[in-house]
Amino acid sequence: MDKSYTSTSETDIYQSWENSGAFTPQIDKTKTPFSIILPLPNANDPMHMGHAVFTVQDIMIRYHRMLGDPTLWLPGGDHAGIETQFVFEKKLQKDGKSRFDFDRQTLFDLIWDFVEKNRTLNQFQMKKLGFSMDWTRYHYSLEPAIVKNVLATFKKLYNDGLIYREEKIVNYCTFCGTAFSNLEVVHKNVDSHLWYIKYGPLSVATTRPETMLGDTAVAVNSKDKRYQHLIGKTITLPLVNKEIPVIGEDSIDMEFGTGAVKVTPSHSPEDYDMAKKHNLEFIRIFDYDGKSNQNVPKNYRGLFPAQVRQMVIEDLTSAGLLEKTEAYSHEVGHCYRCGRPIEPITAPQWYVKIAPLAKAAIDAAKNGDVKFFPSRFKKTYLDWMSNIRDWNISRQIVWGPRIPAWYCLDCNPNIKLNFLDKNKNPISAFYRDIKDKYPFEEIKNGLQSMVAPVDSEFFIDEVSECSKCHSHSLLQETDTFDTWFLSGQWPLSTLGFNTADPSKSSEDFHYFYPTSVMDTMWDILFFWVARMIMFGLYLTKEVPFKLVHLHARCVDAKGQKMSKSKGNVVDPLSMTEKYGTDALRMALVYGIAPASDFVISEDKIRAQRNFVNKIWNASRFVLMIIERFQEQNPKLEISTTINSSKLNTDDKSILESLNKIIKSTDTDINRHHFGQASENLYQFFWHDFCDVYIEKAKDRGEEVVPVLLTVLINSLKLLHPFIPFVTESVYQIIRQKANLDEPQLITASWPKEIKF
């Protein structure tokens, strides 16, 4: 054996595991399987430290595999809708282009190629980390079969009356050009102003003066004595010179501002609700490109909100209508992707009626069908679940499956179309105005996006002819699915559940579903975990996993979340090259509490590299001792059979410690205290075994061999889930020496109490 451990053979060891079929479980109906679906990484993203924390999954997987359970760890890759398109658009920007230069099919194809180039990268990286995944069951989220199933789910939801299309106020990012769900909006505190504007007989206080051009009412508290006489009357909206009503609304805080609030139903969520209640007019003054439109007086048109604000303030000031300006800081929604302020806009979108789905998901958590670890996350989950609102599943991007709805242009002439004509000139117009100018095929081929009025009729199945007017001018909805709509069905899709006909679901599905554990980080508990639970219950009546395990988050030395934009990411692969994969894996679990933040430092990895080397050297020494005894006594039998009559107190002591560590490792792994388990193993091996037992064994004769070997082999087994490479390579060497039956450590039997 070499003088120190080198990690150069890791790739070979991984290959031999994979070739031996160890990663691929056999379906055995007499046994209970253990299965984990990997939280699918973005297919085109390289791995970061956060992914390396999936080591805890490998620990569980390897442990159960050694216990003899049919064990499945199913890997996958996500097309990651908005994320990927955003990255791609940045790339386009560098080349001086934008998404508007392409029709949607071309853009989609470009992104597809872009992703394909990197798609296998993180598969390679996961192998580097030693993850014992079943690559024969790998899935990619845009595989035809998976997409087909997702569309079938949409159809089922639709048929069950759980899908609807409505024009509500949405979180719209005019830069990214898409709406977002509430979860994707980041609230930031912004220092701004409160402007007091004179509206006829009263004044209103507002943080967004520019939206006044779209005001359709003023609201006051109906109990407010100052304004009671005005309720039901109208006042004149300045700058626009239009009569708008004063309404009484109990939710208005009389203490705040002037106690009177301007109401802009199309650009404020609260005002939207008020307008629905009081039947107010909706005037959308900002378009989806972020600029003011035809609904504002001429001089304010075609401008961004900030510009309109400037003008409105100036004009109000010169008209003597701006009473005062106060400094004011408040929360403003920002796009989680590009960081720009979200513009609340009314837009027709597709929604999932969430209440019935949420109810089942709440019940499942309450009755323990799905458990949480650490358990406090159950409360977080239930709190969120019980306040959940209908889910906006439509995104105005191209990178993802399109919503399967088809509109007849001739029945819905008010559909707004954005497309490139045959000369690549951008056209933006209502169908009614251009139907005679452009052939349908030209529109269809150059299509970028469309906005169908909320009352448009659609077909949920693709048809080539409109059943009403027999037109062949049918276009599929250009909105794509929220990426979580697809990944929310991931456990079902990957295991072969068939939504359209559940009886045709695969054997894998029947055997491995519900899976055992879903291990992820708490930051996607709502985005992903909650959605998977809802979909799982909705489609199969069963939870997709019995346990939600939230692992720790890796932060930088300053305690900050690692992110590419902050430039503080530590690349796990460079660490594996420098110190070996095992050292990194051990550093990622050693002494770490579940679901907490932890700092990964090079010091810590180095310390674990030393431990890995200690294992190597201790094993080398044990073999040297044995060889020495063999030279003295060629007939010496190398065996692990313990003869209790020959044991001295040291032997008994180390065997007792071994039994203790076997027991505690079992307990700790089963209750997910991987940090504790690894710490105990570290202490046991280095201190109890090396520093104490081996030191004393130096002075003893060949009778130490069985105990030495027994402790060593069992230690290797116990450590294998944590540090698979060094343990396997040592095992292979010892196996030859000691004629061990089990060909590989990865599939060797998990240690049981030693009788002596």
Partner RNA sequence: GAAUCUGUAGCUCAGUUGGUUAGAGCGCAUCAUUGACAUUGAUGAGGUCAGAGGUUCAAGUCCUCUCAGAUUCACCA
| Residue 559 beta carbon to RNA: minimum distance, rounded to whole angstroms | 6
Q: How far is the CB of 181 from RNA (least distance, A)?
A: 9
Minimal distance, residue 328 CB to RNA, in Å: 8
Instruction: Compute the C-alpha angle 233/235/237, nearest 5°.
Output: 150
Sequence-separated (6 or more) residues with CB below 8 Å from residue 625:
697, 698, 704, 705, 708
Rounded Cα distance, 184 and 382, in Å? 19
Is 521 exposed, middle or buried (CB count within 10 Å of its CB: 0-12, 13-18, 19+)?
Answer: middle
3-class DSSP assignment, residue 448: strand
Which of 668, 670, 754 is closest to 714 using CA atoms? Answer: 754
CB of 3 to RNA, least distance (A): 6
CB of 127 to RNA, least distance (A): 24
CB of 552 to RNA, least distance (A): 7
Q: Please, what is the minimum distance in Å from the beta carbon of residue 651 to RNA?
A: 17
Q: Which CB, 135 or 686, lies closer to RNA? A: 686
Distance CA 324, CA 195 (A): 6
- DSSP β-bridge partners for residue 220: 248, 260
Between residues 124 and 256, which has the closer beta carbon with respect to RNA?
A: 256
Residues in the chain: 756
Element (H, E) at 186: strand 185-199
Q: Using the minimum distance from each CB to RNA, give the nearer residue, 494 or 613.
A: 613
Left if phi > 0, otherwise alpha if psi is -120 to 50, otherwise beta: which for 559?
left
Distances (CA, A) of 462 to 92, 163, 465: 32, 17, 9
Minimum separation from the CB atom of position 702 to RNA (A): 16
With both helix axes pointing from N to C terminus, report the angle between 531-540 and 355-366 in degrees, rounded to the nearest 10: 100
Distance CA 663, CA 685 (A): 15
In whole angstroms, the minimum distance from the beta carbon of 438 to RNA comes to 41
CA–CA gap between residue 675 and residue 61 (Å, rounded): 16
Token pair 């990411």: residue = 569
Tokens 């008994």 map to which residue?
652
Pick between residue 452 and residue 589 the one whose CB is nearest to RNA.
589
Residues with Cβ within 8 Å of residue 431, at least 6 apart in sequence: 409, 412, 413, 414, 415, 416, 417
In the bound state with RNA, the residue whose beta carbon lies nearer, of 627 and 753, is 627
Instruction: Work out the number of other CB atoms within 10 angstroms of the CB of residue 261.
Output: 26
Shortest reach from residue 609's CB to RNA, in Å: 6
Token digits for 390? Answer: 């209908």
Rounded least distance, CB 668 to RNA, Å:
7
CB of 450 to RNA, least distance (A): 28
Minimum Å gap between C-beta 608 and RNA is 8
Q: What would the 3-class secondary structure string for 515-532 be?
A: EEEEEECHHHHHHHHHHH
For residue 626, give both structure tokens. Answer: 């044995």
**Residue 107 or residue 661: which is nearer to RNA going by CB?**
661
Q: Which CB sits closer to RNA, 209 or 536?
A: 209
Smallest separation, CB 211 to RNA (Å):
8
Nearer to RNA, 348 or 675 (CB): 675
Report the residue number, 222 or 601, with the smaller CB distance to RNA. Answer: 601
Q: 262 vs 531, which CB is nearer to RNA? A: 262
Q: Can you say how many angstroms the Cα of residue 678 is from the centroid of all Cα atoms in its chain?
A: 28
The b-or-e profile of 666-702 (16+ CB within 10 A means b, else e) is bebbeebbbbbbbbbbbebbbebbbeebbebbeeeeb
Strand ranges inside 525-651, DSSP E: 545-550, 553-555, 597-599
- The CB-of-361 to RNA minimum distance in angstroms stands at 16
Cβ–Cβ under 8 Å, residues 131 and 58 = yes
Contacts of 71 (CB under 8 A, 6+ apart): 25, 33, 34, 35, 61, 64, 65
Up-side HSE of residue 81: CA atoms within 13 Å toward CB? 24
133 vs 205, beta carbon nearer RNA = 205
Residue 273 vs 742, nearer CB to RNA: 273
Closer residue to RNA in complex, CB, 88/528: 528
Q: What is the largest CA-CA distance in the chain?
A: 111
Q: What is the rounded CA–CA span in Å between residue 339 and residue 121?
A: 28
Closer CB to RNA, 591 or 701, in the complex: 591
CB-nearer residue toward RNA: 149 or 581: 581
Rank residues 508 and 556 by Cβ distance to RNA and give the closer one: 556
Query: Could you tell me the two tokens for 485?
Result: 């709509």
CB of 689 to RNA, least distance (A): 9
Q: DSSP letter for 94, please.
A: H
